[in-house]
Structure 1
Amino acid sequence: MILIAQLGLLLVLSFGAKTFLKQWTESPRPYTHELAAEGLISSPEQFYTLDSTDQNQIIVLASDEVSQWRTKHWLGETDYSFPSGHTIFVAVCVLFFAGLFANHQYPVLSSLVMLWAVGVATSRLWLGMHRPEDLFGSLAFALVLFLIVPSADSKFRLLSK
């Protein structure tokens, strides 16, 4: 039960911090640069001055030039780029679960968790939702968060002392 509480605390803190950092950094998503290049908006920054209905209409217009599979994801995420919430989430899961599995001699499970995380991070780049620096910043943030949250039991930590 303590491990679940620790994971829950890590996830809640990472979600709150991610939300704050997105508003603080105001880093446009990479796809907004593509929208500007297509002439649908004057600049990536302009996209964020529009209301959600106008943002969605512009994204739908881009579906003629960009994969509809990508634009479908764009419609669901019109906030800022940095940091990547998906990457923070998977990084917390990797640090928590891969460490737990590795310490209990389950290297295959640890590897599967890491493979899943790489897949999620790669998809964020491919979809045009994030830049590499968004992902690396998210990983660094998750690592710092993981190090400062008290461990339920040091033998369950990937980075045990």
Structure 2
Amino acid sequence: MYKTVRYTVSSVILLLLLPLIVWFSQWKWEFKDSAFLIRFFYFITETVNTPCSILISILLSIYIVRCLQLCFKSAFLLIIIMNSIIITGQLTKHFIKEQIKEPRPYMIWLSKIHNFDKRIFHHLRRDEVTNIVSIMLSQDTQIPRWLKNYWIQESSFSFPSGHSIFVTTWSLLATILLWPRRYIKTVVFLFLWADAVMASRLFLGMHWSWDLIFAILLSWLLIIAFTCIKIVSSFFLIKNYEQDF
């Protein structure tokens, strides 16, 4: 447990740098018609959308257990635990979103343009928000059609960031499992990917900086839970192994 905390504290601090800088700089999102950057960040954010997220989870699971050179039973158990943690993060995100109902930055921006009371969003269901967003976007001519469709598709609430939970949880899993075994390039790559995804969520107007901060801290708690489960499961695996002999 101590090693997990030691490895992850510095990792969490690094992940928090981006949203904290954005928060303290008081940067506010506004739509900017920069076709290249919008497309680039859209491509980055799509790496976490379904079905890419499922494929990435499968590939990372296989890669990690191969790096650890585990036996079949241990590898299978680790894959189950890792992906259960990932799913738990997404379910937790969904529950919190429905309770807090914080509108996304692009929704606030649209509200200002169309003189719509942003406070109403807190009292609406997801389908009602989608309808309002669709109406406001239908009156706008400066936003690309594909981005309009994406915003309508992603018209759920903002807090916390599910994309950030996904990428930071995998990054922290790699930290505690692969960093001690010197798979440094893999860990660095996953951290760069996580930062890129979080930056894309900010740039596309999908999240506030505090959405990302909470997501990172939630991921950290999930990793602590993962470590506890792993310790318990390892104990039973060893016990069963001893009984077999």
- Show the counterpart of 1:121: 198
Cα distance, 1:3 vs. partner? 1.5
- Show the counterpart of 1:99: 176
- Show the counterpart of 1:58: 136
Q: 1:33 to 1:3 in 2, by over 3 A?
A: same
Partner-residue secondary structure (3-state), 1:129: coil
Q: With the length of structure 2 as denominator, give the TM-score of the two structures.
A: 0.56
Over the residues paired in the alignment, what is the CA RMSD in angstroms? 2.2
Q: 1:108 to 1:25 in 2, by over 3 A?
A: same
Larger radius of gyration: 2
1:44 and 2:118 correspond: yes
Deviation per residue, 1:19-78 (Å, 9 max, x gap): 110011111111111111211x5122435733634432323433x233545434312211
Deviation per residue, 1:120-153 (Å, 9 max, x gap): 0000000000010000011011111211233425
- Show the counterpart of 2:88: 13
Instruction: Name stretches of at least 5 consecutive residues in structure 1 with no aligned partner.
Output: 155-161
Q: Distance in 1 between matches of 2:231 and 2:85?
A: 15
Where relative contact order (Cα < 8 A, 6+ residues apart) is larger, the structure is: 2
Whichever residue aligns with residue 36 of structure 1, its letter is S
Q: Distance in 2 between matches of 1:127 and 1:141?
A: 22
Q: Distance in 2 between matches of 1:136 and 1:108?
A: 25
Which of 167, 188, 210 is 1:90 aligned to? Answer: 167
Alpha carbons 2:159, 2:207 under 8 Å: kept: yes
Q: Distance in 1 between matches of 2:175 and 2:147?
A: 30
Q: Number of aligned residue pairs: give it.
A: 152
Cα distance, 1:114 vs. partner? 0.4
Indicate the structure with greater helix content.
2
Instruction: Name stretches of at least 5 consecutive residues in structure 2 with no aligned partner.
Output: 1-75, 233-245
